[in-house]
Chain A
Amino acid sequence: MDLKVDETALLHSLRQRDELAFTQLVEQYHASLVRLARLFVHEETVAEELSQETWIAVLHGLDGFEGRSSLKTWIFTILTNKAKTRSLRENRSLVFSDFEDDHFDSPTVAPQRFKDASAGASANHWAVEPASWAGIPEEIILSGETLHLIRQTIAGLPEQQRAVITLRDIEEFSAQEICNILGISETNQRVLLHRARARVREALEDYLQAEH
């Protein structure tokens, strides 16, 4: 509720050509726009350019914006459309409907972690349980190295997974908003998110085990 009210006020100020309102908006979203653009295009400078073009489109579209989506979703959708067009031109298409390169049925946790059929009733239960991270000092868990590892792991994910985990867990869009932005179904969104999160968890598990 509060968010909606804030957004209405912000929109009003923007339409009044209020520079402070614009500054607030770019402080909030510009870095995220560049990060999202980087999912579609290789070069940082192109990502920056696309984000700037997005702001120009936002400013020119303000008076016609009807508020059917949130301001945030509207802005990010403009960016996504521009980035998709650009990546097609660059011949580097991120095709969200094509899942061929991904093994959607393969397990996200190594099968060796579970007991096999010879274990009888306890087959498919943990053979090697995950460790608790509760005893690991916060300064290790929250360290720059841990963040770096997460960034690196996400950077190494297949593109669709990278897009979804970035939007969901870093930018904190709702699942529905992500489907709108990327043009994918809710089921695909969730499967991609599941696989991406599992990979990050696995990387953290390896790293924290070694550190501990």
Chain B
Amino acid sequence: MDHVITCKELVELVTDYLEGTLSGETRAQMERHVAGCDGCTKYLEQMRRTIQLTGNVREEDLSAAQREDLLRLFRDWKKG
């Protein structure tokens, strides 16, 4: 007899699901639930979007001073 996952349980499985660490059986139960549940479909969508937006926080640019400092380190090392 399959355990029926409730929405309250499902939201706590979302990270395991997205990280691919659920057992095949739990994964299948979860997917069945989501397929028939509007709220959980939207929750999962929100979580995916959240992860994607968090990735946008990355800032890359180095300041001129940082780049200069690092190149000086490199040149010192190169001189040995």
- Write the residues of chain A forming the contact surface with B, with a CB cutoff of 8 angstroms: 17, 19, 22-23, 26-27, 30-32, 48, 52, 55-56, 59-60, 107-109, 111, 114, 123-126, 129-134, 141-142, 146-147, 150-151, 154, 165, 169-172, 175, 186, 190, 193-194, 197-198, 200-201, 204-205
Closest to A128 in B: B39
Distance from A75 Cβ to chain B, minimum over Cβ atoms (Å): 13
Q: CA separation between A148 and B73, bound complex, in Å?
A: 33
The DSSP consensus for interface residues of chain A is helix
CB nearest to B79 among chain A residues: A17
| B45 part of interface (Cβ distance < 8 Å) | yes
Q: Given A114-B7, A169-B51, A170-B54, does the pair A52, B70 have CB atoms closer than 8 Å?
A: yes
Nearest first, the 10 A-B pairs at minimum CB distance are A126-B39, A124-B6, A194-B15, A129-B39, A124-B8, A169-B54, A201-B50, A59-B77, A130-B42, A125-B7
A68 to B29: give the CA distance in the assembly, Å: 39
Nearest CB of B to A168, in Å: 9
Closest to A26 in B: B70
Residues of B within 8 A of A (CB): 6-9, 11-12, 14-16, 19, 21, 37-40, 42-43, 45-47, 49-51, 53-62, 66-67, 69-71, 73-75, 77-78
CB pair A130–B12 under 8 Å, yes or no, is no
- The listed residue (B38, B40, B66, B74) touching A19 by CB distance below 8 A is B74
